């Protein structure tokens, strides 16, 4: 069964500093990996995805993520955090051979402070 782990319930960062939100995954085959963001009382919004190709993928709002197959990780990064980035972030994985089933992590609350 596929699964995702987000080891940090909350990440606190000062505005202007780089941020990293961690994610590790487990699938039986090659993964499709996704990051979503959720603002209060809103649905999930797609940020970026890794399907194949370059290990560093760029997404919306200046976010990027690095796929590391040997460490089975897909950490979300941003060079300079903004207060408006404060939200709940979810990593998700889909097994390439598993159809359309997307499995989410438990989420990491990002808090960016002045």
Partner 1 sequence: EAGVVQSPRYKIIEKKQPVAFWCNPISGHNTLYWYLQNLGQGPELLIRYENEEAVDDSQLPKDRFSAERLKGVDSTLKIQPAELGDSAVYLCASSLGTVAGGGTGELFFGEGSRLTVL
Give the shortest CB-45-to-partner 1 separation in angstroms: 7
Give the shortest CB-80-to-partner 1 separation in angstroms: 25
Give the shortest CB-6-to-partner 1 separation in angstroms: 8
Tell me how far apart the alpha carbons of residues 77 and 9 are, in angstroms, rounded to a whole number.
Answer: 16
Residues within the interface to partner 1 (CB under 8 A):
4, 32, 34, 36, 41-46, 49, 51, 90, 94, 96, 99-107
Tell me how far apart the alpha carbons of residues 90 and 45 are, in angstroms, rounded to a whole number.
Answer: 10
Beta strand pairing status for 56-58 and 3-5? unpaired
CB-wise, 108 or 112, nearer to partner 1? Answer: 108
Torsion angles phi and psi, residue 62, rounded to 5:
85, 5
Tell me how far apart the alpha carbons of residues 90 and 6 are, in angstroms, rounded to a whole number.
Answer: 8
CB-wise, 36 or 67, nearer to partner 1? Answer: 36
CB-wise, 9 or 114, nearer to partner 1? Answer: 9
């Amino acid at each position: 069964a596929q699964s995702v782990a987000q080891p940090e319930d909350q990440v606190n960062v000062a505005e202007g500093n780089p941020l990293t939100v961690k994610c590790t995954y487990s699938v039986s085959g090659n993964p499709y990996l996704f990051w979503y963001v959720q603002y209060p009382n809103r649905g999930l919004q797609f940020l970026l995805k890794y399907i194949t190709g370059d290990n560093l993928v760029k997404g919306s709002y200046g976010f990027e993520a690095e796929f590391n197959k040997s460490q089975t990780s897909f950490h979300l990064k941003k060079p300079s955090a903004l207060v408006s980035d404060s939200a709940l972030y979810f990593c998700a994985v889909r097994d390439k051979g598993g159809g359309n089933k997307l499995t989410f992590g438990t989420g990491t609350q990002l808090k960016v402070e002045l």
